[in-house]
Structure 1
Amino acid sequence: MSTNSTQLDSRAFGLACGLLWACGVVVLGITARFGWGKRWERLLADVYRGYNETTTGLLVGAVWAFVDGFTGGYAFAWLYDRLR
């Protein structure tokens, strides 16, 4: 078995984390329109400037969340590969 088979592709892992987190933030914003998850929405609005349950706010939040998720995922995969 090759040693490279257990390495994570940092870019791909970052993209997956970014997309997953951005979708989660958008879903949370949509559910907040119906009264569910309002506290979480307010918490994320404190972190992601411009995020709210409006269509524009969801787009802004998705961009922030993607950057946040990508950065965290990339850093995690990079560190994992260095420590293994």
Structure 2
Amino acid sequence: MKLNVKAFALACGLIWGLGVLLMTWYMIAIEGPSDDKFFLGRFYLGYNLTALGSVIAMVWGFFDALIGGAIFAWLYNFLSRKKS
């Protein structure tokens, strides 16, 4: 079986980007907005618990997972071709 690299990368990017956005909004609803740096703020520049920070993290997360998903799908296709 072969993975479609573009479709897999796009799916990964959308899922991770929306997941980061929803997680941030959930944390804002519980704790309220804050300028404190959380764990993701170490990786995604500009991220904090605010509405703008959630959008920034969504964009960073989308491209982060897009690239990671493309590498994973390409590597999967490459190794499955070698096996058969």
TM category (shorter chain) comes to 0.7 to 0.9
Deviating above 2 A after TM superposition, structure 1's stretches of 4 or more consecutive aligned residues are: none
2:34 — aligned with what?
none
Q: Are positions 1:70 and 2:66 aligned together?
A: yes
Q: Deviations over 1:20-63 (max 9, x none)?
A: 0001101111111113xxxxx71111110111221211111000
> What are the residue-to-residue correspondences of 1:46-65 with 2, within 5 Å?
46-65=42-61
For the residue of structure 2 that corresponds to 1:79, the secondary structure is helix
Q: Which range moves more in the overlay, 73-82 or 50-59?
A: 50-59
TM-superposed CA distance for 1:70, in Å, is 0.3
Q: Are positions 1:23 and 2:18 aligned together?
A: yes
User: What count of residue pairs does the alignment treat as equivalent?
Assistant: 74
Aligned-residue CA RMSD (Å): 1.2
CA distance in 1, matches of 2:42, 2:22: 17
* TM, length-normalised to structure 2: 0.83
Structure 1: runs of 5+ lacking an equivalent: 1-5, 36-40
CA distance in 2, matches of 1:7, 1:58: 34
Residue from 51, 74, 79 that aligns with 1:83:
79
Q: Are positions 1:13 and 2:8 aligned together?
A: yes
CA distance in 2, matches of 1:54, 1:44: 13
Q: Percent of pairs identical after alignment?
A: 41
